Structure 1
Amino acid sequence: MSALEPFGARLRRAMDERGPLCVGIDPHASLLLEWGLNDDVAGLERFSRTVVEAVADRVAVMKPQSAFFERFGSRGVAVLETVVREARAAGTLVVMDAKRGDIGSTMAGYAEAYLHKDAPLFSDALTVSPYLGYGSLAPAVALARENGAGLFVLALTSNPEGGEVQHALRADGRSVGATMLAHLAAENAGERPLGSFGAVVGATVGDLASYDLDVNGPLLAPGVGAQGATAADLPRVFGPALRNVVPNVSRGVLREGPDTVALRDAARRFADGIRDVVAGA
């Protein structure tokens, strides 16, 4: 497999053609039970592959949460490999939500697992944590560039605990979150039509007017749907950066299963609503 076109270019095209929606694949125990499935590997596989079958050919991005597969050990990871392979084969981009973060050779190992073109879990992009210092992500940045993949860096997450780190002020008066955004803007400088290195910015995080979200890269925005944010909230939160926002919806779509038609309809409703808001902004 040769190196792919850069992730940012592929994502921009997918968003323009299919709408800017990311559907999460979060097979936690309560959802498996809601679907009438056992909380075991068979239930995990049935759930995850049904979601892929229902929406992978019609949404821009799918985001499997690695933790819900890892909890079943090697058999769960084998299911995750299948899900990634089948989703990408259906034409959607896969963002692996693993939030990896470490230093040196360990970070390089994580990068090899998800961002090397020959890896069983190779994904179009990976979520990463920069809180050992942005420079600790260098091995992942390098391998992503080499293989046409991307990263989504935790910058302004909506969990209440995140503020003690992300809103903390450095000696220069700039917050840690703003510093991460500045690093990403530098990473994406000159890239067209969109850089491959984006930020995770929660759709429920509140007023972001004091932050420069123009990183010339995508903004992965969890929180739409069951967590309370709506498509109508996005212009207020993201302002001029709205066109580069990839809203993530998980439970808002997943709770409609196991009926594949209902899953497709839910994904279409969210995608249409987000597309209309972006077009009207």
Structure 2
Amino acid sequence: MSPLEPFGARLRRAMDERGPLCVGIDPHASLLAEWGLNDDVAGLERFSRTVVEAVADRVAVLKPQSAFFERFGSRGVAVLEKSVEEARAAGALVVMDAKRGDIGSTMAAYAESFLRKDAPLFSDALTVSPYLGYDSLRPAVDLARESGAGLFVLALTSNPEGAEVQHAVRPDGRTVGATVLAHLARENAGQEPLGSFGAVVGATLGDLSSYDLDINGPLLAPGIGAQGATPAGLPAVFGPAVRNVVPNVSRGVLRHGPDVAALRDAADRFAAEIRAAVAAV
């Protein structure tokens, strides 16, 4: 099976055409309840299908959180498979938010689950954790490159607890987070128009000018909306790298469901605000 065009190239085109917005698909119990749905497989399926129907034909990226599907067992995973298939068919790129991280054959198996082109859960990119050492991710890096997929590696996350690991200083004087960014810059060297190996960098972290965010790859930025970050504030956080930022909005869009038109309007508003903020830099 021939590989896809590299993820970075496909993402750059999608961001330019549709705007740089990633909408999360996070069917947690409280949100299902807000939609008037039961916390069961039927509610999960209705929720996911509605989000895909509403926005998959207009946003650059959809990001399902696999845990909220896995909690329902095999039937929940079947809903996830269908959601990925339908989202990609509608033109959205799918980033599977699974944050996998392990070593050796186990990491290779995780990679095959999400990054092998004929896998039922094949996604355009996968979130991964490098905190068993960056090179523990090598099976995922290699398979992603082979299949035309990408990775988003946890680097500087928006949760406060992340600082105790990511801001820790190595013997060479560089923080752990900065080391992850440097690894990704090497993976993306020479790739045009954009490398396929991105970092997760929180939009709530304030001024990041002390970090080199120019990794020639995308920066997946959680924190817009419910966590307090705004589209207008993105340039202050990311500086010149803001053009490669993929802001993630979950509750800020999803709280408008189950009305399809309201979901679309919310996604369109966020996309327009993000595009205007990036254009102003």
TM more than 0.5 = yes
Matched position secondary structure for 1:117: coil
CA distance in 2, matches of 1:4, 1:251: 31
The answer to whether structure 1 residue 207 and structure 2 residue 207 are counterparts is yes
2:246 is aligned with 1:263: no
1:186 match: secondary structure? helix
User: CA separation in 1, counterparts of 2:225 and 2:202?
Assistant: 12
Q: CA deviation at 1:256?
A: 0.1
Indicate the residue corresponding to 1:233 in structure 2: 233
- Deviation of 1:273 after TM superposition, in Å, equals 0.2
Measure, in 1, the Cα distance between the counterparts of 2:231 and 2:118: 37
Q: 2-side partners of 1:213 and 1:2: how far apart? A: 32
Shift of 1:171: 0.2
TM-score by length of 1: 1.00
Q: Which amino acid aligns with 1:257?
A: G
Structure 2 counterpart SS, 1:112: helix
Compute the displacement of 1:250 (Å). Answer: 0.2
Partner residue in 2 for 1:163: 163
Q: TM-score, normalised by structure 2?
A: 1.00
Residue 72 (structure 2) aligns with: 72
1:5 is aligned to: 5
Which residue in 2 is equivalent to 1:94?
A: 94
Task: State the distance in 1 between where 2:40 and 2:117 align.
Answer: 30
Structure 1 partner of 2:248: 248
Whole-Å separation in 1 of the counterparts to 2:82 and 2:206: 37
Q: Which residue of 1 aligns with 2:52?
A: 52
Give the fraction of aligned pairs with identical amino acids, expressed as a percent.
Answer: 85
Q: Does 1:192 align with 2:192?
A: yes
Tell me how many residue pairs correspond in the alignment.
Answer: 281
Give 1:36's aligned residue.
Answer: 36
Matched residue type, 2:38: N
Residues 13-39 of structure 1 show CA distances to partners (whole Å, capped at 9, x for unaligned) of: 000000000000000000000000000
Which SS does the other structure have where 1:209 is aligned?
Answer: coil
Alignment of 1:91-170 (within 5 A): 91-170=91-170
SS in 1 for 2:142: helix
Q: How big is the shift at 1:207?
A: 1.7
Q: CA deviation at 1:158?
A: 1.1
> Please, what is the CA RMSD of the aligned residues?
0.5
SS at match of 2:179: helix
Question: Where do 4+ consecutive residues of structure 1 move more than 6 Å?
Answer: none
Q: The residue matched to 2:172 in structure 1 has which SS?
A: coil
Cα deviation per residue 1:40-74 (whole Å; 9 max; x = unaligned)? 00000000010000000000000000000000000
Cα distance in 1 for residues equivalent to 2:220 and 2:143: 20
